[in-house]
Structure 1
Amino acid sequence: MLKRIVGISIIIALAGGVLYNYVQQKKESEATKNNAYNVTGDTEAEGGMISSVKNPLDVGENAPDFSLNTLDEEKLQLSELQGKKVILNFWATWCPPCREEMPAMQEFYDHFKDEVEVVAINLTKSESKKEDVAAYIEKYDYTYPIPLDEKAEVRSAYKVVAVPTTYFIDEEGKIAKIHPGPMDYQFMKKTVEDM
């Protein structure tokens, strides 16, 4: 009799756990449906990868200089790009919105690389292995510079709290726009034209 009571109690507890998980998944599913990515440039908009934390770097400030090694083992220093507009993007291979925008970044780079530099800083410290970054870039044949932020120093300097986050930097090295969330080709083109 005691075994039967214990058995029934276990079955009821398991059924309750299954029901609880089902309700939680439904809630998360509904929240995800209502959580679209922001590609409008509105930093106050709510969305999947947009943080509610205000970025302490402001438009009009000098972009913090940095020097990082790229996947090609070349040194890239931001200040050496002065005189050219720069799209400075922070990304990671594990980030779906980052992967979503990268083909558009490549298309933009192919069309405008003489006037605008596209620099995609990988948050290497957050990756499982550095080799994953190289494999991902090689698989999709992205050709714009990929500096590796292995110590998260540049991420800290730019106060990046969510990826992707992109800084549009003008020819004088000043921040012209800060964009959290993924971008498309038209957004990049319009933003650069408006700088």
Structure 2
Amino acid sequence: MRVGLTVLVAALALGGCTHSAPPRESPAVPVIGSSRPKAGGERTVPDDCDAVATLDDLTRMLHHFVPGPVRRIVGVPQDDIGRTARLDCYYGLAADQPTAGAPIWIGLTSYVDEESARKRRTATVADERSAGGTASVNDVVVGDGHGVLIRAASWMLVAGRGRVTVVVQVVPTMVREDQAGQLLGQVADFALTKH
């Protein structure tokens, strides 16, 4: 009888009918393209413009078709202003067109601390005001914060969150004047929070 019981237990084990230990937790599956940072997380500057905003993202947010292609320029750290990373994304450029002619430009930059980021935002707004001569400047909502909307030759919005700043520039024909603040604010918030 003992031999028969041993054979039965062996047969059950080989047949996979034994009781196994409880399964371990499965490893977390990475989420790609989530639109919001984790709680308490801070945006990092990517090296790819699709991680800032895709053509489809911009078309949806601006209610205006945004053509391709997308051209990127990856900046380098700059110690004298505390810059740690920079990415400039130019949307809608023809192959031989200079970046200054882009219908949409989004620049995302990170700094060593919030104070350095704030100083750069202030300097950018001051530079645009002096260059624009008659530029109009208004505060606008950007997510749960605010930014500065400048209207000169193009619409430009300057905003930031923590150590990261964003500049969104759009040619006037892509947004209506009464919607510019809201729409560029949405683009800026998206660029500051997309992960």
Relative to the length of structure 2, the TM-score reads 0.26
Structure number having the greater strand percentage: 2
Q: Which has the higher contact order (CA 8 A, sep 6+)?
A: 1
Structure number having the greater helix percentage: 1
The structure number with the bigger radius of gyration is 2
Relative to the length of structure 1, the TM-score reads 0.26
